Structure 1
Amino acid sequence: MPYIARVPPLVDAVPVVALLVLLATAYRHPSGRVEALVAVVTAAATLATGIVSRDETEAAVRHLAPVVVFLATILVVADVCARAGLFRAAAQVVRDVSHGRADRLLGGVFVLAAAVTAVLSLDATVVLLTPVVIGAALAMGTSSRPGAYACLRMANSASLLLPVSNLTNLLAMRHLDLTFGGFALVMAPVLAAVLVVEYVVLRLLFRRDLAARTEPAAPTPDVPLPRVPLVVVAAMLVGFAALSPLGVEPFWVSTAAALVLVAWARRRDLLTLGDAVRAAHPSFAVFVLALGVVVAALAVGFLGDAVARVLPDSTSYAALLVIAVVATVLANLLTNLSATLLVVPLVAPLGDAAVLAALLGLNIGSGLTYTGSLANLLWRRGLTHQGERISMREFHRVSLVATPVTLVAAVSVLALVT
């Protein structure tokens, strides 16, 4: 049904301004208090317009609440794993099995980054894994750039495998007629194709870096693989798969894992309760809820109608490709989280294949520009803090080559398996 303006144009523009303010806040990454304050103010301003009703607002919050709890608890799990040395130990294993060869190190980093992204979310890959991968490369006397970009590319592209790998997947799950295992079964061959394409592209783009040698950095002491975090994370993954058919939301499993790991880490003086609370980033939880309210207002307005007009009404190969491209464009204009809230409900009536195609654009496509995913910005900020200079030109040299090729390959495989 075409959108008909129900409010004066100035009032109708409030959600647009609110979204722009939220996105600007996310890009600047201010203190938690400022982030939460901006979120509350923009949500309140949107609600004051009356564009979304009270029932619509409550529905949006109920939809997002389990996802927000999962996000907070999985961030705590990742933080404890980092404090325990799990990422350092895993990077050491990859470094050792590469036997000093940069190309083998890159292949190992691809697999490791894909695994971390799939199980602990893309934020863990860009924030916690990337620094230790860089350290492993420098210790070998090879360029850190291929490994750093492998982490970035996998943070977005490898977040396809499991419903818990990305908030976009979790938000889409209620629109899919798939269990946790069913989702993974469909996406596994897609991810396999993505891994191959991404690896080949980075091998070609960074062939000089992989051939060059530098003076090895001073070695850092090896750390043993921490067994308790590893066992808890493995049990958490099994819990996701086993309890999903029973209708148990993933946040229950991640909350249990977080509580176990926090108790374990406290006994070993690895963190305090304050550290655990900060690791959960409660201000970002408020931010995500506010974003849901604002995008709900946009979805019932002109933007939702405009997007609906360009989406196809079938699930042919060409239609799936169009859906993925539209999702990619929206992800890079609005960030993939906002775009998910907008586009997934619109394609859901077409069935699982359409929703999964949208996820390809929302996940892989978000790696096209810095604005596509907050993970991109976190990655660049982290490298800057480490003294690694990444220019906009270099970032887009990689992303503009890798993203379109990977997206087409992923859609092609998806069309074959659905």
Structure 2
Amino acid sequence: MPALDLVPAAALLALLVTAYLHPRGRVEAAVGLTAAAATLATGILGWADVRDTLEHLGPVVLFLVTILVVADVCGRAGLFTAAASRVRDAAHGRPVRLFTGVFLLAAAVTTVLSLDATVVLLTPVVVGVAVSTSTSYRPGAHACLRMANSASLLLPVSNLTNLLAMPHLDLTFGGFALTMAPVLAVVLVVEYVALRLLFRRDLAAPPGPVSEGEHPPLPVVPLLAVGLMLAGFAVGSPFGIEPFWFSGAAALALAWWGQRRGLLGARDAVAAAHPAFALFVLCLGIVVAALGTGFLGEWVADVLPTGTGFADLLLVAVLATLLANVLTNLSATLLLVPLLGSLGDTAVLAALLGLNIGSGLSYTGSLANLLWRRSMVRLGHPPPLRELHRVSLLVTPVSLVSAVAVLSLVV
């Protein structure tokens, strides 16, 4: 490794440690700015490179901060609680029915509102529903974690990795969804069957008490705002309109509505947007761009295949999985996807399979995994490390290979 490359490598390590520790926003922003400044001081990146990186990341970060506000208002309005209560009532106390409903609900929330909403907002509701029906919370909690990563394949907006890859794809919003729909369908089947088998003892418990009474109503305004936002994504994509315009409009409308209803104030809306994390992501992009021009980018480029057959796509997906679990999937996307441009859309989509499904292999694969663990600790149910990896090591490889096989057939 050239001596000059040690600086961005050390900067990336500092950023990853900060992400895992998840300190207060000011600390997060300070570390990000320091890491970016140290990287820029090496001269590895020119100002044109920095400008290109920020222009590429800017729309993605704007989408991130606005969709977080949308999800936060939906949570404050009781959308997740109302949806989970309907799943609970439909289950009639039966653990398998409850698990099936939670699994599908987690997949839907991830697809529409991104994976952070699933791990931060939905998981506590799911655990609470399980406890209230005297059934095991473990299957539902793990369904939320698995779906936060594996169900983020369908839409470009389901995961930041997808949005970062879109400029490298010759696909519209609808084209991406149509291509990935059969892949997601197979992944959902594989993951559902696998979780049913792994948690069969929990799901074989006798039915819990059936709750009676009215369940909370579904909030109409948030549902309508989310529906219009999704429609905007689909309609605007062929015209090159970035998703953040529609998520931004939805965020402003819901923040105003929530303030009128007394659900949140201006400070709450700003806090929900997590501006310090947005700055952190921009700084991370600069550091990874520097590494991509150095030894790490050269090594990855040497390992990549030259074709797009099944074995080639599987190699890309496995490489993406390894990079995601070493660097986190966000960093791995910034490094890997630009190097796949010459191989076309199929190779980029294969990388997304590793960056999304593969990031569920360990806690280090995705920041969502760490957020899920923190949610479980706050709820008083810290997940054993052994159990997490028992599930991930058994499910992730099967799900990933199945997804690559389907992708190689449909593209």
TM-score range, shorter chain: over 0.9
State the Cα deviation string for residues 205-230 of structure 1 (Å, max 9, x = none).
00001112597699998321100001
Which residue of the other structure, out of 35, 38, 43, is the alignment partner of 1:42?
Answer: 35
- Residue 351 of structure 1 aligns to which amino acid in structure 2? G
Query: Among 127, 132, 146, which residue is 1:134 paired with?
Result: 127
Would you say the 8 A contact 2:11–2:35 is kept in 1? yes
Amino acid in the other structure paired with 2:259:
R
Match of 1:201 in 2: 194
1:24 to 17, 30, 34: 17
Give the 5 Å matches for 1:53-132.
53-132=46-125
Separation in 2, partners of 1:396, 1:110: 19
Deviation at 1:10, TM superposition (A): 3.1
Aligned residues: 411
Picking from 317, 320, 331, the partner of 1:324 is 317
Shift of residue 93, structure 1, vs aligned partner: 1.1
Q: Which residue of 1 aligns with 2:354?
A: 361
Given the alignment of the two structures, is residue 188 of structure 1 paired with residue 181 of structure 2, yes or no?
yes
Match of 2:378 among 385, 392, 410: 385
* Native 8 Å contact 1:177 1:352 kept in 2: yes
Deviation at 1:108, TM superposition (A): 1.1
1:51 aligned partner: 44
Q: C-alpha deviations, 1:249-275, integer Å up to 9, x for none? A: 000000000000001000011000000
User: What are the equivalent positions in structure 2 for 1:207-246 lying under 5 Å apart?
Assistant: 207-213=200-206, 222-246=215-239
132-141 or 382-391: which moved more?
132-141
State the SS of the aligned residue for 1:191.
helix
Determine the C-alpha separation between the residues in 2 that align with 1:70 and 1:280: 10
Write out per-residue CA displacement over residues 16-56 of structure 1, whole angstroms, 9 at most, x where no aligned residue.
00000000000000000000000000000000000111100
Distance in 2 between the 1:213 and 1:134 partners?
Answer: 18
User: Is the 1:158–1:191 contact (alpha carbons within 8 Å) kept by the matching residues of 2?
Assistant: yes
Q: Which amino acid aligns with 2:87?
A: V
> What corresponds to 2:157 in structure 1?
164
Which whole-Å CA distance do the structure 2 matches of 1:375 and 1:36 have between them? 19
- Gap runs ≥5 in structure 2: none
Name the amino acid aligned to 1:224: P
Mapped partners of 1:316, 1:376: distance in 2: 31
1:91-123 Cα shifts (integer Å, max 9, x gaps): 011111122211111111111111110110000
Q: Residues 91 and 136 of structure 1 are in contact (CA less than 8 Å); yes or no, is this contact kept in structure 2?
A: yes
2:366 — aligned with what?
A: 373
SS at match of 1:40: helix
- The one-character-per-residue Cα deviations of 1:321-372 (angstroms, maximum 9, x if unpaired) are 0000000000000000000001101112101100000000000000001000
Distance 2:272 2:206 in 1: 37
Distance 2:367 2:206 in 1: 33
The share of aligned pairs that are identical, in percent, is 69
Q: Residues 96 and 203 of structure 2 are in contact (CA less than 8 Å); yes or no, is this contact kept in structure 1? A: yes
Q: Alignment partner of 1:159: what SS?
A: coil
Matched, 1:11 2:4: yes
Cα-Cα RMSD: 1.4
Task: Find 2:345's aligned residue among 348, 352, 356.
Answer: 352
AA paired with 2:94?
R
Q: Are 2:397 and 1:404 aligned?
A: yes
User: What is the CA deviation profile of residues 365-393 of structure 1, one whole-angstrom value per residue up to 9, with x for unaligned ones?
Assistant: 00001000000000011101100021110
Identify which of 315, 332, 336 aligns with 1:343. Answer: 336
Report the AA paired with residue 231 of structure 1.
Answer: L
Does 2:306 match 1:313? Answer: yes
Give me the whole-angstrom Cα distance separating, in 2, the residues matched to 1:76 and 1:396. 32
Kindly tell me: are residues 325 and 220 of structure 1, through their superposed partners in 2, closer, same or farther at Cα, counting changes over 3 Å? farther
TM-score normalised according to structure 1 size: 0.96
Render the CA deviation track for 1:173-230: whole Å, top value 9, x for unaligned.
Answer: 0000000000000000000000000000000000001112597699998321100001
Structure 1 residues 309 and 96: CA distance shift in structure 2, 3 A: same
How far apart are the structure 2 equivalents of 1:32 and 1:350? Answer: 39
Q: Give, as a single letter, the amino acid of the residue that structure 2 aligns with 1:146.
A: P
- Rounded Cα–Cα distance in structure 1 between residues aligned with 2:170 and 2:329: 22
Instruction: Quote the Cα distance in structure 2 between the aligned partners of 1:102 and 1:190.
Output: 28
CA distance, structure 1, for counterparts of residue 265 and residue 80 of structure 2 = 20
Closer/same/farther in 2, CA of residues 324 and 220 from structure 1, 3 Å limit: farther
Alpha-carbon spacing, 1:333–1:219, altered in 2? closer, same or farther (3 Å): farther
Q: Is the 8 A contact 1:366 1:373 kept in 2?
A: yes
CA distance in 2, matches of 1:405, 1:112: 22
